[in-house]
Structure 1
Amino acid sequence: MSVNLEKLQRLRRQAGHSSSVSPSAPLAPAHDPLPALRRLLGIRERSHPAAPARARDRALPGEEIAPGLLQLEQILPFDGIWPHVDGAFARTGALPTQGMLFFDTETTGLSGGTGTRAFMVGASDFVPGGLRVRQLLITHLAAEPAMLRTFAGWLAEDTRLVSYNGRCYDAPLLATRYRLARQGTPLAGIEHLDLLFPTRRRYRGVWENCRLATIERRALGIVREDDLPGSEAPGAWLQYLRGGDAGLLRRVLQHNFQDVVTLAHLLLHLAQPASGGTDMQPPFARGTP
């Protein structure tokens, strides 16, 4: 212990000598003597364990039907399904509900073109017992061909596609992805009813716009809760691909789910006679993916 005291005294004398240096001399870099003193006295540094990293939420619903491809499916109770509906709103005759496939995509952008891809496809159709809702989600880029093949398997000879602006956007985009994947174009020749156009004919100038969210609220009485805007869907998917949390992507699934449920209700709504912009609201079935 006396040896350590002598060393401490020597350090103090050196510290006092350095303090007498002329003010005009350059100052030495600041130095903390405490670590050296602890080492001289044999005092060990107390280590503090690093805080554990927050576990990331990567959970997504659905069944993996191919590597990187998730499928979700459920049947919702749905009242008021008729074998045919009045097609006067679409300037056609009676429309059979059997074979109607309501569909919507979530994509990496709104500009279209070969650089834009669909990372999610949702569809609904009338089946015994209600409205069947199916969704496909790819969790890495290599799963896109499997998603396209699966969606093609949902199409039959009597399929009639029903969408909201899908004839101008969703269908051409999917056709491009099928060509790039060298799978042909299964959408070619399939009848396509785009509900955007009859909705505009009925409600343009009645309400502020004819966006689907506006029509839902005004005509169907549907108010979405905690809905993620479609413009944020690409960022949510890319965040997940880069290893981020899945919370926002689950909200994209919910947004897409509601879109294809709303399309079925909108069809029945438009098939009813107009009554001054306040048509009778059809029953609404709500569910979660």
Structure 2
Amino acid sequence: MASTPLVTGLALVTASDLLTFLTNQWVMATLVVILAWYGSKFVTNRIRPRLEDRLRASTTNLVLVAFRVAVVFYAFVPFAGLLGFRPQNVLLSFTVLSLILGAVLAPVGRSYISGLFIVYNRPYEVGDMIELVDRDERGYVEDITLGYTKVSTLENAFLVIPNETMRERDIRNLSAGDERIRASISVDVKYEDDLDEACSLLEDAVRSVEGVISDGKPIHVGRSRLPAEPRALVDEFADHGVRITLKYWVKEPYLPAAARSAVQRTAWRAFKDADVEIAYPHTHVVFDETSGQASIELDSRDGEQPADRGKSAEMDSRWE
């Protein structure tokens, strides 16, 4: 019977110590920060699907990151009070800190500001295929943050490009709207060949290539309507032949290189079977009475000296 008060006293002491520990300012501030961190993560995971239905992926990420940063920032206010920060000292501290960060982190700041422009203007989105014009390289956008853009290239390389650089360079978005892309090849045929036959051979050859649009409704480009089927057009009368430009549409933005190679190989075989020759530069040498003179020296194979050695032979030449 005497042990009951002892156990009760120990329990009261333990509860009192626990209450004192929990009411400590540092403990309370730590709990608030932990709750803000995990609570903001839980809330962002719950509202992300709804935002993605209304906003683009990059805008959704920016909104959720800004929300979590704001929640965690306000959660650190109790720590600021424990460390002696007062409202009247915040402005001065913030001004000094801004000057230091402005000098040290200026390049990073420019990249983040460029990230805001990219998110606002939305020249490309996650999942789009873009082309870096100056590098002649294509890839898919994997992620867009305020500081950089991640691009996965068709060569299975991974590029992390600062947004400041992305904003200043020329970028082609190959996935914006219609993913079909127009390509072309040019070939010179001899003046003696039949132009109509050459154009028909090119158009028939490209129709059999996989990935090339052979027919269908006209494709809208701005206010123009361009034919979807391949078209061979006489481009110009070049120095060595008639230049024909074949224009065609490719179904996917990552196919032009492979399709171009297949189209040229098919056209080569079609020309060869139809006896249509591809023009290339020729040099024709003609001798006449206006040509100059050249000395020719002849030696016999058996070591005997020819009778006319040392004599000059006249040689006429003219380039055409």
TM-score range, shorter chain: under 0.3
TM-score, structure 1 as length reference: 0.21
Structure richer in helix, relative to its length: 2
If asked which structure has higher relative contact order (CA below 8 Å, sep 6+), I would say 1
